[in-house]
Chain A
Amino acid sequence: MNYTAPLQDMQFVLDELAGLDEVAQLPGCEEATADVVGAILDEAGKFAGGVLAPLNRTGDRTGAIWFDRTVTMPPGFGDAYRQFVDNGWAGLGHDPEFGGQGLPRVVSAAVREMWKSANHAFALCPMLTDGAIEALELCGSDELKQQYLPKMVSGEWTGTMNITEPQAGSDLAAIRSRAEPQADGSFRVFGQKIFITYGEHDMAENVIHLVLARLPDAPPGVKGISLFVVPKFLVNADGSPGARNDAYCVSIEHKLGIHASPTCVMSFGDHGGATGFLVGKPNEGLKYMFIMMNAARYAVGLEGLGHAEAAYQHALAYARERVQGRAIEGSDASVAIIRHPDVRRMLMLMKSQTEAMRALAYVTAAAQDKALHHPDADERQRQAAFVDLMTPVVKGWLTETANRIAYLGVQVHGGMGFIEETGAAQFMRDARITTIYEGTTGIQANDLIGRKIAREGGATLQAVIAQMRATQAQLAASADADAVAIAAALAAGIDAVGQCGDYIVAQYGTDVRAVAAGAVPFLQLMGIVAGGWQMARAAQVALGKVGAGGTAAAGSAATSETAGFYAAKLRTARFYAEHVLVEAPGLAREIVAGGASVLALHDDQF
Chain B
Amino acid sequence: MVHERYERAEETNVKILVPVKRVIDYNVKVRVKADQSGVELASVKMAMNPFDEIAVEEAVRLKEAGVATEVVAVSCGATQSQEQLRTALALGADRAILVESDAELQSLAVAKLLKAVCEKEQPQLVILGKQAIDDDANQTGQMLAALMGWPQATFASKVVVADGKATVTREIDGGLETLAIKLPAIVTTDLRLNEPRYATLPNIMKAKKKPLDTLKPAELGVDVAPRLTTLKVVEPAKRQAGVKVADVAELVAKLKNEAKVI
Contact = CB atoms under 8 A, between A and B. Distances in A.
A142 B198 CA distance: 35
Contacts of B28: 561
Contacts of A92: 201
A456 interface: no
B200 interface: yes
Contact of A91 (B82, B201, B203, B207): B201
Interface of B: 27-28, 31, 33-34, 40, 42-45, 47, 82-83, 86-87, 90, 198-205, 207-208
A35 B83 contact: yes
A40 B202 CA distance: 10
The 10 closest A-B pairs by CB, nearest first: A562-B43, A88-B201, A560-B42, A558-B34, A87-B200, A88-B200, A88-B202, A43-B199, A561-B44, A39-B204
A101 interface: yes
A57 to B, nearest CB: 21
A87 B198 contact: yes
Given A43-B199, A46-B198, A87-B198, A36 B42 contact: no
A557 B43 CA distance: 15
Contacts of B42: 560-562
Interface in A543-566: 557-558, 560-562
B198 A50 contact: yes
A87 B203 CA distance: 9
B38 to A, nearest CB: 12
A51 to B, nearest CB: 8
7 contacts: A39-B199, A43-B204, A88-B200, A101-B202, A560-B44, A561-B40, A561-B45
A560 B83 CA distance: 21
A39 B83 contact: yes
Contacts of A7: 45
A560 B27 CA distance: 16
A101 B203 CA distance: 11
A31 interface: yes
A511 interface: no
Nearest to A40: B204
Query: Which of A7, A36, A39, A557 has the most CB atoms of chain B within a 10 A radius of its CB?
Result: A39
B27 A4 contact: yes
Contact of B201 (A46, A89, A557): A89
B201 A87 contact: yes
A43 B198 contact: yes
Contacts, number: 66
Interface string A71-98: 0000000000001001111011000000
A89 B203 CA distance: 11
Contact of B87 (A4, A39, A87, A91): A39
A43 B90 contact: yes
A31 B207 CA distance: 12
B45 A36 contact: no
A8 interface: yes
Contacts of A39: 83, 86-87, 90, 199, 204, 207
A594 interface: no
Nearest to B196: A46
Given A39-B87, A101-B202, 11 more contacts: A7-B45, A33-B208, A35-B208, A39-B86, A39-B207, A40-B204, A91-B201, A558-B31, A560-B40, A560-B44, A561-B31
A47 interface: yes
B43 A560 contact: yes
A38 interface: yes
Nearest to A88: B201
A40 B86 CA distance: 11
A89 B200 CA distance: 8
Nearest to A44: B201
Interface string A1-21: 000100110000000000000
B91 to A, nearest CB: 10
Interface in A430-479: none
A86 B208 contact: no
A47 B31 contact: no
Contacts of B43: 560-562
A557 B208 CA distance: 37
B36 to A, nearest CB: 11
A7 B199 CA distance: 17
Nearest to A47: B198
Nearest to A562: B43
Nearest to A557: B31
A28 to B, nearest CB: 14
A4 B26 CA distance: 13
Interface in A88-128: 88-89, 91-92, 101
Given A561-B42, A561-B43, A561-B44, A35 B201 contact: no
Query: Which of B47, B200, B203 has the most CB atoms of chain A within a 10 A radius of its CB?
Result: B200
Interface string A140-176: 0000000000000000000000000000000000000
B200 A86 contact: yes
Contacts of B82: 35
A273 B50 CA distance: 56
Nearest to A83: B198
A31 B45 contact: no
A345 to B, nearest CB: 25
Contacts of A561: 28, 31, 40, 42-45
Given A35-B208, A557-B31, A558-B34, A40 B45 contact: no
Interface in A40-54: 40, 42-43, 46-47, 50-51
Contact of A38 (B33, B34, B83, B201): B83
Contacts of A87: 198-201
B130 to A, nearest CB: 22
B205 A36 contact: yes
A96 to B, nearest CB: 10
A50 B200 CA distance: 14
Contacts of A83: 198
A43 to B, nearest CB: 5
A43 B47 CA distance: 11
B237 to A, nearest CB: 18
Nearest to A90: B201
A46 B202 CA distance: 16
A142 to B, nearest CB: 25
Contacts of B200: 86-88
A31 B87 CA distance: 17
B198 A101 contact: no
Contacts of B199: 39, 43, 87
A39 B199 CA distance: 10
Nearest to B204: A39
A47 B198 CA distance: 7
Contacts of A51: 198
Contacts of A91: 201
Contacts of A89: 201
A4 B33 CA distance: 25
Contacts of B45: 7-8, 561
A559 to B, nearest CB: 8
Query: Which of B33, B45, B198 has the most CB atoms of chain A within a 10 A radius of its CB?
Result: B198
A164 B33 CA distance: 60
A112 to B, nearest CB: 13
Contacts of B205: 31, 36, 101
Query: Which of B47, B201, B203 has the most CB atoms of chain A within a 10 A radius of its CB?
Result: B201
Contacts of B44: 560-561
B61 to A, nearest CB: 16
A35 B86 contact: yes
Contacts of B47: 42
